Structure formats: C-alpha cells, structure tokens
Amino acid sequence: MGVPSSQRALELCHLHLAASAVRVCIAAAEANLNLKGAKFLVTGEPLTPHKKREIESAGAIAIPVYESPRRAWLPRAATSAYDK
C-alpha cells in the first residue's frame, strides 16, 4: 500500500503570480492535498504578508522573484565597455 495522495509531499517548483499561487494553495487545501515541499516562485505583483501566509498554510514555500524589464540589456551594457 502506498502513502495516500492526500499525505504525499509535492516537491515541485512553480512560477506564478502571487494571487494565482494563493488560488492553487486554496484549491489544494479544499481537495485535501498536501503541498509540503512545493515551491512557488511568485512574480508580477507584490508578495504581501497575507498572500505569503496563505501559501505557507498549505505547506508550500513562497519565493518572491523580482524582475526588471530592462534586465536583458544590463549584462550586455556592463560587458560592452570591456570589449573596446
């Protein structure tokens, strides 16, 4: 007999908006699913303390990822000065 699916750890990493990650965690809790070990890379909006608590209450981990639309050119600009 295996471990019931409601008790298995889900060790995955997902990239979501913070609000979407919260919805996934709420749906998992309603379905009696264990998200312990799941990691949500949340981006696109602030990870508020309330959203972080909602994600963590499902056993998952919230990891904020902040990006800049200009990040793509930053490394090239930094290295181009050394190319001359």
Q: How do the domains of the chain map onto residue ranges?
A: 5-80
CATH topology assigned to domain 5-80 = Rossmann fold (3.40.50)
* Residues forming a β-bridge with 39: 13, 61
- pLDDT for position 15: 78
What is the rounded distance in angstroms from the CA atom of residue 22 to the CA atom of residue 26? 6
- pLDDT for position 44: 84
pLDDT band at 70 (very low <50, low <70, confident <90, very high): low
pLDDT band at 51 (very low <50, low <70, confident <90, very high): very high
Smallest CA-to-CA distance from 51 within 79, 75, 16 is with: 16
Over range 6-26, report the average pLDDT: 76
Q: How many CA atoms lie within 13 A of 14 on its CB side?
A: 19
- pLDDT for position 13: 73
Q: Residue 47 above 50 pLDDT?
A: yes
* Encoded tokens for 57: 């209450």
